[in-house]
Amino acid sequence: MPRAELTRMGIACAVAIVAISFLALDAIVDVNSSVITKRIEMAQASIADAAMSQHQLASAVQAWARRGHQKQPSAVE
């Protein structure tokens, strides 16, 4: 084989290795970003659930306090 052809093959091989490496890195970054996105969505859902639970607890305490105040005058009588 002529030397020029070997040089071209070497360059083509190096370009192919760089391209495959770039695609592999791109795939890794995509996987990591999807994992991060899932974690963010789970955190948002958890925060929303905690806020809803806190709101329900506050409503229950207010209702309980109102019933307690309504019953208190009749219990004194």
Q: What is the pLDDT of residues 1-60, one digit of tens each?
A: 788 898 999 999 999 999 999 988 888 877 777 777 888 889 889 988 888 888 888 888
Maximum average pLDDT range among 15-19, 28-32, 62-66, 72-76: 15-19
DSSP 23: H
**Stated pTM of the model:** 0.43
DSSP 38: H
What is the pLDDT, as a whole number, of residue 72?
56
Q: Is 77 helix (H, G, I), strand (E, B) or coil?
A: coil
Q: What is the pLDDT of residues 4-21, one digit of tens each?
A: 898 999 999 999 999 999
The domain ranges of the chain are 25-62
